[in-house]
Amino acid sequence: MGAGRHGKGYGKASGAGTIINAIATYKGSAFGIDLWTSAEVELGEDFKGIEGEIEQEEEEHADTRLIERCVELVLRKFNMPLHAHVKTRSEIPIGSGLKSSSAAANAVVVATLDAIGEEAKERIGALDAIRIGVAAALDVGVSITGAFDDACASMLGGIVLTDNRKRELIKRVEKDSAVLIFIPRERAYTADTDVKRSRLIAPWVNLAYELALNERFEEAMTLNGFLYCAALNFDPEPMVKALECGVKGVSLSGTGPSFVALLDEREDQAERVCEAWSELGVEGRIMKRRIHNKLSFLV
């Protein structure tokens, strides 16, 4: 491992959207979205410890604890000195429900392994790399369940179903679909979520999870969205408007405030939903992306 000690490594991981939010039952489902976070990690004795830097236009005082902890956990795994500089850059809005934390953790873990050397990636593997980021997220308190579902969708791409308590991947399916994302200007941080209210809806979230297991993803996410809007006090109107436009799958993403809708290939559907969402009078922006189906680990 000595050769990589002064190495530089790079990694990237995608954002994700929700099919089943795992807060109620610890079972979740999510899909990768082609919005990206990239990370650069440099190892070297010149650094005093592990120094983190986040390049995010909208954040003046970004919290670097998660990315620093990710580097630390990887270096400890290889018994390496804790001297590194880590920098991330992201196009995923923070606190929007689009899995910015999972993407950052994944990108940093991959970049740290890359800095150590090729043999590090071979030794760890994608799922173990995901588990390191999940452990870091729990350590620094940016996640309630560890968000193993979001982290799997971010790193592995496609649609994933997971057991977050056991940190197990239950199923992964690829799906070709456009995604429309409504991102209100307000923020909703996972750490502030009312977990007690979320646990009350667990029996019905289990029904939604069963739909997802049967690959009825659109029905699963729509049921999930209405349940969590009720539990977390979000107005479900963006969902109803999307359904009026013929969308089959739409949900609150994570703990909000963003909504994600899977579109069919009809030319005018995206335009109609955009128009309907614009008429809500909520300050924010609308993005069109696609489900990302590729593994980020090898990038």
pLDDT of residue 43: 96
pLDDT of residue 174: 97
CATH class of residue range 179-290 = alpha beta
More confident residue, 142 or 87: 87
pLDDT of residue 253 exceeding 60: yes
Whole-angstrom CA distances from 284 to 66, 144, 259, 279 are 27, 26, 11, 11
pLDDT of residue 4 exceeding 60: no
pLDDT of residue 185: 87
Predicted confidence band at 274 (pLDDT cuts at 50, 70, 90)? very high
Predicted confidence band at 3 (pLDDT cuts at 50, 70, 90)? very low
pLDDT of residue 6: 61
Give residues with Cβ within 8 angstroms of 289, minimum separation 6: 33, 34, 35, 178, 179, 181
pLDDT (tens digit per residue) in 180-225: 999 998 876 665 667 888 899 999 999 999 999 999 999 999 999 9
pLDDT of residue 118: 85
- Cis bond upstream, residue 257 (ω within 30): yes
Look at strands 27-43 and 8-20 and give their pairing: antiparallel
Mean pLDDT, range 231-258, rounded to an integer: 95
pLDDT of residue 234 exceeding 90: yes
Mean pLDDT, range 220-242, rounded to an integer: 96
Cβ pair 261, 273 in contact under 8 A: yes
pLDDT of residue 1: 39
Region for 141 from its dihedrals, namely left if φ exceeds 0, alpha if ψ lies in -120 to 50, beta otherwise: left
Q: Where are the domains of the chain?
A: 2-173, 179-290
Smallest CA-to-CA distance from 144 within 112, 172, 116, 102 is with 102
Report d(CA 198, CA 232) in Å as an integer: 7
pLDDT (tens digit per residue) in 35-90: 999 999 999 988 899 999 998 655 556 789 999 999 999 999 999 999 999 999 99
pLDDT of residue 186: 80
Report d(CA 168, CA 163) in Å as an integer: 5
Q: What CATH number matches the domain at 2-173, 3.20.20.120, 1.10.357.10, 3.30.230.10, 3.30.930.10?
A: 3.30.230.10
Report d(CA 267, CA 89) in Å as an integer: 33
**Helix 126-140 crosses helix 65-77 at what angle (to 10 degrees)?**
130
